[in-house]
Structure 1
């Protein structure tokens, strides 16, 4: 992470975000719970994505909890940090149960990956027995419908677990980053695909409204996967598969706030960042931290 967090200035009138209390130290329900799911071992690209949850927590301190919309007041929320799940690659079942435990007392769970394999325990843990009515929205350059178990397979694995493909919406799918086979697989299982080109031609609020309507059509809980490699490589150099021409940082931030406002969105993950490969200014990790704050602001706006 660029810079020395310990050297940040102190101002009693400019509080810093992050450093939220442990979820175990708070009695009762939570508004937002942060949890790390440091998956990395099954990645298709060499990665140290398991270093990212700690880096995002550190980056949160670069920002304040203040938003100019008076309704987006983070101070009214009970925010907590549930720590990192130990060895989520080796024991996915335990990781799923840990998410379920924290989701049972939280209005919104924000999971920090790790690679995209983190999406499976994050979603299944939140959905629980509501899986038959659940919905999934991904902001991702890729379909993630590959065979096997990797960061390229979470959407396929969730569908095989019982998720109805007709309630899956994939936003930001890019040309030259996928194959005809997986595009046809997405079509065959009923996934709604909004490509990067279509996303660029339409207002973002319109796109996200469509995604939320489709994913929530059965009234079940929605999980949102923010795979940061959907962004342009200039703002996401720490994502191994980000490409020139992806969406802008402000678009990802706006999407995070919009989806978190929706009452059916119960969980959100931020994945595919290798903090050890970031630019010198830490721009990718900083974007992830801002997405955490945008999600909290969206929750406050519900």
Structure 2
């Protein structure tokens, strides 16, 4: 008599010709691979209610919904392996301490030299500051291309190191020079005049959604790269998913109308990753507890796929 039993949760349909993206994730084993991934499940510093701490797991789960074959390129990524370093253990009450743990963990990963390029899965946008701090200490001068609806240049006096302050902190702490920050997709009615002025005063390059519509995201990414390429040792992409229009990102706590389409964002990431200097990405501000059918995490998974496409696109 045939035995059709499998361990709980593993009795799934399997097509012998299809590899799913989550099958490429390999626990850290000391082997060198091009790509690595680590989760930073921190959302306590969010200035609005957020369950973004659950996002690293949700994004990994979303990866299981897609095959590794790109019809557009005619290339199967099933030969890739990605080192999954797991999630950074956050302190239950100590926010600065948790942010320090992110810096320490990323420095440890970079020091081990087991991967060439790293994806950080947030968490809210507060995780970007400690990540940038780790990179700056390891590689020196860094540049950032930030896809975001918000400047994230809020003052720290009103709330401390929140998800609205990562780039203010980086600039004021001399982790990142203002003129090494390029923001793409800034929305109307999501910022304050004081923070727009802070950006101007510190040489931040700001492209609004009007610029995205008028010039196209690829042209803006090209301008960002050309601005940064000769000035920095590494370019870091920070992808805040609320840069998307609310129709594409129901799982973002700060959604609004008039944002990017998912195609805009994926095209921009693919364009940026084609440049060798781009070697790090964070993906932040997804709250799976308010998402609809995991839509926002699925776009985040495609941010990773688009990054890979850009790296090998002919």
Name the TM-score, length of structure 1 as normaliser. 0.91
Superposed CA deviations along residues 235-278 of structure 1, whole A, max 9, x for unmatched, are 10110111111000111111222222211112101101101110
Q: What is the rounded CA distance, in whole Å, between the counterparts of 1:295 and 1:60 in structure 2?
A: 14
Quote the residue 1:40 is aligned against.
43
Please state how far the C-alpha of 1:22 moved relative to its aligned partner. Answer: 3.6
Q: What is the rounded CA distance, in whole Å, between the counterparts of 1:198 and 1:6 in structure 2?
A: 47
Quote the residue 2:311 is aligned against.
299
Match of 1:102 among 101, 104, 109: 109
Residue 87 (structure 2) pairs with residue 84 (structure 1): yes
Residue 51 (structure 2) pairs with residue 65 (structure 1): no
**Which has the higher mean CA deviation after the structures are superposed, 285-294 or 15-24?**
15-24
Quote the residue 1:220 is aligned against.
233
Seen in structure 2, the aligned counterparts of structure 1 residues 105 and 208 have a Cα distance that, compared at 3 Å, is same
Q: What is the rounded CA distance, in whole Å, between the counterparts of 2:56 and 2:308 in structure 1?
A: 17
Please state how far the C-alpha of 1:129 moved relative to its aligned partner. Answer: 4.0
Q: Secondary structure at the match of 2:152?
A: coil
Match of 2:252 among 239, 250, 263: 239
Does the 8 Å contact 1:137/1:211 carry over to 2? yes
Q: What is the rounded CA distance, in whole Å, between the counterparts of 2:232 and 2:75 in structure 1?
A: 25
Match of 1:18 among 15, 19, 22: 22
Q: What is the rounded CA distance, in whole Å, between the counterparts of 1:186 and 1:23 in structure 2?
A: 40
Relative contact order (C-alpha < 8 Å, sep 6+): which is higher? 1
Name the TM-score, length of structure 2 as normaliser. 0.88
Structure 2 residues without counterparts, runs of 5 or longer: 1-8
Q: What is the rounded CA distance, in whole Å, between the counterparts of 1:129 and 1:274 in structure 2?
A: 31
Structure 1 stretches of 4+ moved >4 Å: 5-8, 69-73
Quote the residue 1:151 is aligned against.
163
Residue 106 (structure 2) pairs with residue 130 (structure 1): no
Structure 1 residues without counterparts, runs of 5 or longer: none
Quote the residue 1:50 is aligned against.
53
Seen in structure 2, the aligned counterparts of structure 1 residues 147 and 262 have a Cα distance that, compared at 3 Å, is same
Match of 1:117 among 114, 118, 126: 126
User: How many matched pairs?
Assistant: 295
Q: What is the rounded CA distance, in whole Å, between the counterparts of 1:126 and 1:277 in structure 2?
A: 32
Q: What is the rounded CA distance, in whole Å, between the counterparts of 1:71 and 1:210 in structure 2?
A: 29
Residue 301 (structure 2) pairs with residue 285 (structure 1): no
Counterparts of 1:133-212 in structure 2 under 5 Å? Answer: 133-148=141-156, 149-162=161-174, 163-212=176-225
**Which has the higher mean CA deviation after the structures are superposed, 32-41 or 91-100?**
91-100
Q: CA RMSD, aligned part only?
A: 2.0
Please state how far the C-alpha of 1:26 moved relative to its aligned partner. Answer: 4.2
Seen in structure 2, the aligned counterparts of structure 1 residues 232 and 41 have a Cα distance that, compared at 3 Å, is same
Superposed CA deviations along residues 100-157 of structure 1, whole A, max 9, x for unmatched, are 23233322111111100111122222332434x2101100000000122100001111
